[in-house]
Chain A
């Protein structure tokens, strides 16, 4: 049997978690700690920061310094931690509502600053904690308790948003593609700058039941059948893309990281008057 090396990263006395049966959040949480192990991040110098919502409960189960902030505000708190002590590795856990609705402004400005955070967005396309309301990432015409006739609000593509706002690394994967997801996160951790990974997760309870996928396995099959690797996606004709979505690394670029840039400000200020 394969050794479960990831278990040491969890606070065993806080488990079991509060997520519903069939939820994909636990898969992403595990992928994060596997990526931490892969990158050999020192545990006492790694901080997990989360917002509010289903995704953001993950911080409480993870055995690091952990911070469960207010709704939408994980990135500002994380920015303060990283800038105050740049030797810390800071991983942000957020959700589609937390990151792109109430925290949308912080999200784009975190990317714009290119501060060295690894932001993992658990995208379940719904507000799960409050019982299934539409989020800015609920697909068009899908149902939610606040969109009983189907959502008419156009959804965000959070990866495009992060790319346009200035992130150094942008990727997407799903809770079905576990190894791929782990690799996407691990690569994001190794990039110096603002890294953004969207992890599409199944939420059979709050989303699936309203949208003809009440069984976890149905939702996992949907992830399998609709996620298309970037290379294949590029070759896919427009008419065949319909409700499919690409996964993989969308962007990786080098741009001066914020705390490095600020270290230069300090050096210049301490060097006396110019």
Chain B
């Protein structure tokens, strides 16, 4: 471990991305994510990397996709309004299978909203913001230290699955400062850029999937002369109008993530051994929820907590198991209700799922969540 230091969530995000091999950042300033760009502007050149401030959010996304195709590991960062603008090219990355990590440090919306108070209002936009059917990976850290790990993981998943990965932060964690001890570089596992495993002469096709259902399109400039397009394409990479090709393609995009879902689903369980009630929480709100669960326990309430780090693909299994076991689930969210409905879908009637929603720019207090737990239990100890 390295020495203990005081670090901000956004700085930890930049540090994690760099540790995972990111050497190119493109983006546009927007609070509360700007410190990520500022950190990258300062640190990347010293590592031989590049930072470029683009003219808008859309080009901030385009420039990193170009750099990724030219062989760099890439990152961009934004917040609500900018995240909305990036959606089309997030879909492009999904379709053309270009590794990229997009950080969304959430703030209150809709539109310009309440800059820049904390929110969890982008949970569904992360999943469905770009048009068409596509899978999505999104990780939501709850501490500064975990933000570092989540950034490493996000870059690794983007490279491994050749897909856009969203690091779904919020203003709470982004602007939080905590003492952290980062791992030594030698202890960090970095997924390398995938390369073609055979030559053109041996029948290489840029979009032919490997065993893990992920293809290895060659980086530009390496002599393969590949074609990359946002049109639906066959193994050659060239567009195809065939219904068979289209169906197989959309299927594979989903399945390459689905077959690895258990591996990429990360969560914590707290006090669940004897729990009769559960709080399901994520991101900055989980910090308050954890304190609330401890307070409720001190009052004698048998309540536990599931803290989701992987938001998408959704952690169906643990929610199913939890719903099987407890009398009711509470989902506190800094929005009008988003992930609650996903929890309810996974619980599938095994137990009731209640929403505790807050969307007035203020954080939950632990007591508000304790009240929510008490309402859930009906005072039963």
Q: Which residues of A contact B (CB under 8 A)?
A: 14, 43-45, 47, 49, 59-60, 63-70, 73, 75-85, 87-88, 105-106, 109, 262, 265-266, 268-270
Identify the closest chain B residue to A108 (Cβ).
B55
Q: Is A76 a contact partner of B45 (Cβ separation < 8 A)?
A: no
Q: Say whether B48 contacts A270, CB under 8 Å.
A: yes
Is B64's CB within 8 Å of the partner chain A?
A: yes
Question: Of the candidates A65, A80, A105, A266, which one forms a contact with B26 in the assembled complex, judged by CB atoms under 8 Å apart?
Answer: A80
Whether the pair A70, B230 counts as a contact (CB closer than 8 A) is yes
By a CB distance below 8 angstroms, the chain A residues around B45 are 262, 265-266, 268-270
Do A106 and B59 touch across chains, with their CB atoms under 8 A apart?
yes
Residue-by-residue, is B321-355 near A (CB-CB < 8 Å gives 1, otherwise 0)? 00000000000000000000000000000000000
A44 to B88, CA, bound (A): 29
Could you name 11 residue pairs across A and B whose Cβ atoms are closer than 8 Å?
A: A14-B238, A44-B223, A66-B228, A76-B26, A79-B59, A80-B26, A84-B71, A84-B72, A105-B55, A262-B45, A265-B45
Q: Would A88 and B220 be within 8 Å (CB), given that A80-B62, A80-B63, A81-B70 are in contact?
A: yes
Residue B297, interface by CB 8 Å:
no
Q: Is B318 an interface residue (CB 8 A)?
A: no
Q: Does B231 contact A (CB under 8 A)?
A: yes
CB-based nearest A residue for B63: A80
Residues of B within 8 A of A78 (CB): 66
Contact string against A for B residues 201-231, beta-carbon threshold 8 Å, 1 for contact and 0 otherwise: 0000000000000000000111111111111
Asked if residues B65 and A44 are in contact (CB atoms below 8 Å), the reply is no
Q: Which residues of B contact A109 (CB under 8 A)?
A: 54-55, 59
Closest B residue by C-beta to A72: B58
In the complex where A79-B63, A80-B26, A270-B48 touch, is A106 in contact with B228 (Cβ < 8 A)? no
The answer to whether B226 touches A84, judged by C-beta atoms less than 8 angstroms apart, is no
B52 at the A/B interface (Cβ < 8 Å)?
A: yes
Which of B54, B223, B229 meets A68, CB within 8 Å? B229
Q: 12 extra interchain contacts, Cβ-Cβ under 8 A, other than A69-B62, A80-B70, A105-B56?
A: A66-B225, A76-B26, A76-B60, A79-B59, A79-B66, A80-B67, A83-B24, A84-B66, A88-B70, A106-B59, A262-B45, A262-B50
B298 at the interface (CB under 8 A from A): no
Please, how many angstroms separate the alpha-carbon atoms of A87 and B220 in the complex?
Answer: 11
For chain B residues 1-56, which have a beta carbon within 8 Å of chain A?
24, 26, 45-46, 48, 50, 52, 54-56
B65 touches A80 (CB 8 A): yes
CB distance from B74 to the nearest CB of A (A): 8
The verdict on B143 contacting chain A, using a C-beta distance below 8 Å, is no
- Across the interface, which residues of A come within 8 angstroms of B227, CB to CB? 59-60, 66-68
B residues near A66, Cβ cutoff 8 Å: 225-228
Contact residues in A for B58 (Cβ distance below 8 Å): 73, 76
Among candidates A84, A105, A262, residue contacting B59 with C-beta atoms closer than 8 Å: A105
Bound form: Cα–Cα A105–B50 in Å: 22
Which listed residue (A47, A49, A60, A80) contacts B68, Cβ 8 A? A80
Partner of A49, one of B56, B59, B66: B66
User: What is the bound-complex CA distance between A161 and B12, given in angstroms?
Assistant: 42
Residue in A45, A77, A79, A266 whose CB lies within 8 Å of B48: A266
Q: Check A77 against B231 for contact (C-beta < 8 Å).
A: no
List B163-200 residues whose CB lies under 8 Å from chain A: none
A87 touches B221 (CB 8 A): yes
Q: How far apart are A273's CB and chain B's nearest CB, in angstroms? A: 10
Query: Which residues of B have CB within 8 Å of A63?
Result: 225
Contacting pair B88 A70 (CB below 8 A): yes
B165 to chain A, nearest CB (A): 18
How long is the Cα–Cα vector from A81 to B65 in the complex, in angstroms?
A: 8
**B89 beta carbon closer than 8 Å to chain A:** yes
How far is it, in angstroms, between the C-alpha of A268 and the C-alpha of B62 when the chains are bound? 27
CB distance from A17 to the nearest CB of B (A): 13
For the complex, what is the distance from the CA of A25 to the CA of B210, rounded to whole Å?
37
Complex Cα–Cα for A262 and B45 (A): 9
Please tell me if the beta carbons of A60 and B238 are within 8 angstroms of each other in the complex: yes
Shortest distance between the CB of A165 and any CB in chain B (Å): 11
Q: Is B69 an interface residue (CB 8 A)?
A: yes
Closest-by-CB residue of A relative to B45 is A269
Contact A65 B226 (CB under 8 A): yes
